[in-house]
């Protein structure tokens, strides 16, 4: 096992599939997400209220609040709000609406606030 980076993933993989929408109109305030391994509405119960993050890279190196290091990584935080449909999709609300280029991209669903 020497040489391998220790696995640190404490979040569930999800994909931003699109905004809440009807056929011709979309509402960008709510994002729809597909969580990995969640295939039914009952299974989404665990994820209700869990915080989620869209992590992306910007162009400029910027300083984060509590550290001196500059980084390109940026985050938009949100939380899972309710289930969406029968097959395990989920609705999330982000602090700022997700940019459309995030569609199809990775969203991290954290394990907190935990209830287990």
Partner 1 sequence: MCGILFGTCLSSSLHGLLLNIMEDETTKRKKPRSRQRWLTGGIPMFSRSVMYRRTAKYLKKKPIVKKEKKAVERFVVKEVGGEKNGGTRKVPLQKQPRYYPTQEGRRKLKGHRKPFSEHKRRLRPSITPGTVLILLAGVNRGRRVIFLKQLGTGLLLVTGPMKVNGIPMRRVNQRYVIATSTKLDISSVKIPGKLDDAYFKRKKLRTGKRSKNIFDDKKETYEVSDERRADQKSLDAQIIPLVKKEHLLAKYLQNPFSLRTRQYPHKMIF
3-state secondary structure of 45: helix
Residue 67 DSSP label: -
Residue ranges in 52-71 that form contacts with partner 1 under rule CB under 8 A: none
Pattern 2-31, binding to partner 1, x per CB under 8 A? ----xxxxxxx-------------------
- For residue 66, the minimal CB distance to partner 1 (Å) is 11
- Between 100 and 113, name the residue whose CB sits nearer to partner 1: 113
Using rule CB under 8 A, residue 41 touches partner 1? no
Beta pairing partners, 51: 79
The residues, any chain, with a CB within 8 Å of residue 100's CB and separated by 6 or more, are none
């Amino acid at each position: 096992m020497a040489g391998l980076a220790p696995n640190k993933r404490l979040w569930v993989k999800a994909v931003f599939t699109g905004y809440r929408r009807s056929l011709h109109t979309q509402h960008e305030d709510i994002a729809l997400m597909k969580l990995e391994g969640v295939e039914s509405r009952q299974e989404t119960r665990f994820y209700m209220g869990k915080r989620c993050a869209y992590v992306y890279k910007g162009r400029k190196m910027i300083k984060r609040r509590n550290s001196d290091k500059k980084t390109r990584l940026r985050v938009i935080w949100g939380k899972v709000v309710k289930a969406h449909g029968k097959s395990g999709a989920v609705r999330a609300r982000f602090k700022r609406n997700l940019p459309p280029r995030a569609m199809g991209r990775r969203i991290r669903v954290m394990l907190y606030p935990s209830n287990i």
